[in-house]
Structure 1
Amino acid sequence: MSETPSTPTVPAGPEPGPISRWLNKQGFEHQLLDPDHLGVEVIGVESMFLQVIVAALKADGFDYLQCQGGYDEGPGQQLVCFYHLVAMAEMVAKMGVGDSSSEAAKVREVRLKVFLSREDTPSLPSIYGLFRGADWQERETFDMFGINFEGHPHPKRLLMPEDWKGWPLRKDYVQPDFYEMQDAY
């Protein structure tokens, strides 16, 4: 009995979600990434388009920056800066209607990711002008990963001393053997 060889199936990429489809209609280039473990749509954007895309999403109802942060994919790999946006006013309005159906209670949220090279000085535009809550979050990301936020009004360390060398949450960071604190008294 001869069987025809089966063609290997190529796993399909993630299906575009509603926010990705909306961004496509608006003409914004982006990279579709797998949703997170809770089903939140995750979208990759280029650093040069970050402010424009965040402004467009804010105009579309994403009025709350829930979280901004960064992480290191590993030595020799990329640094990632992420932004989690939520349509908070829509959620509050739905709560006032009293519709408790699961579809009505679903919050519109999206996570944007910007992938940066660790070479030289990674930088991207600050979104402080759009979301004031980005102030300390961007400063912490700078302090721990060395990602500069162009246009940030207070671009200085938040957690580490001003004269600290290096970026402690990078996976290739080497902790100094000794650090002398200035006498605070």
Structure 2
Amino acid sequence: MQGRLSAWLAKHELVHRSLGFDYQGIETLQIKPEDWDSIAVILYVYGYNYLRSQCAYDVSPGGFLASVYHLTRIQYGVDQPEEVCIKVFTPRKNPQIPSVFWIWKSADFQERESYDMLGISYNNHPRLKRILMPESWIGWPLRKDYITPNFYEIQDAY
């Protein structure tokens, strides 16, 4: 089943894949990493002016990593804002996705957290560095193939 945004993107020959609707009826689309920066600009111009959230997850051990964007179209005089969910899948080896920080400033800390926990590199992000783990931490803790170290060093506990 194709949603309104998917039909609009198809009409304008923009490459994407419809993933249907979630349990709340929000349309979900898959975008290729190399197309994400241009489609993000188009979505912003189309009216999706608010990045509600960005997160990432490991699809399967040894499989793809996914970066998920929940965008909202907020307009005056509209009681129910239009929402869309965008999923960008990237290979586990050298995962890279264009950053949307320059379009939606709220992506700053959210993309940094996805980088810190899963190792997804967001190209052109101005401050892409660890945010939760120490800079010296090795590995990406939320990956399904992550091996937990058998020691934890508590520093500055007091």
**Matched ranges for 1:33-44 at <5 A:** 33-44=19-30
1:113 maps to which of 69, 87, 96: 87
Letter aligned with residue 77 of structure 2: A
RMSD: 1.5
Letter aligned with residue 139 of structure 2: G
Q: TM-score, normalised by structure 1?
A: 0.81
Question: Is 2:60 aligned against 1:74?
Answer: yes
Letter aligned with residue 114 of structure 1: V
SS in 2 for 1:34: strand
Q: After superposition, what is the alpha-carbon deviation per residue over 1:25-46, rounded to whole angstroms, capped at 9, x for unaligned?
A: 2221101112111110000000
- Residue 99 (structure 1) aligns with: none
Deviation at 1:177, TM superposition (A): 1.1
Gaps of at least 5 residues in structure 2 are: none
Separation in structure 2 between the aligned mates of residue 25 and residue 147 of structure 1, nearest angstrom: 31
SS in 2 for 1:42: strand
- Residue 57 (structure 1) aligns with: 43
Q: After superposition, what is the alpha-carbon deviation per residue over 1:89-144, rounded to whole angstroms, capped at 9, x for unaligned?
A: x2x422xxxxxxxxxx432111110111112x201110000011000000000001
Decide whether the 8 Å contact of 2:112 with 2:130 is kept in 1: yes
Larger radius of gyration: 1
**Matched ranges for 1:22-171 at <5 A:** 22-88=8-74, 90=75, 92-94=76-78, 105-119=79-93, 121-171=94-144
Separation in structure 1 between the aligned mates of residue 143 and residue 20 of structure 2, nearest angstrom: 24
Letter aligned with residue 107 of structure 2: A
By percentage of residues, which structure has more strand?
A: 2
Separation in structure 1 between the aligned mates of residue 46 and residue 20 of structure 2, nearest angstrom: 22
SS in 1 for 2:77: helix
Aligned residues: 158
Separation in structure 1 between the aligned mates of residue 63 and residue 129 of structure 2, nearest angstrom: 25
Decide whether the 8 Å contact of 2:67 with 2:88 is kept in 1: yes
Decide whether the 8 Å contact of 2:100 with 2:107 is kept in 1: yes
Spell out structure 1 runs of 4+ moving beyond 3 A: 179-185
Q: TM-score, normalised by structure 2?
A: 0.94
Q: Identity over the aligned pairs, expressed in percent?
A: 43
Gaps of at least 5 residues in structure 1 are: 1-14, 95-104
- Residue 3 (structure 1) aligns with: none
Letter aligned with residue 37 of structure 1: Y
1:174 maps to which of 147, 151, 156: 147
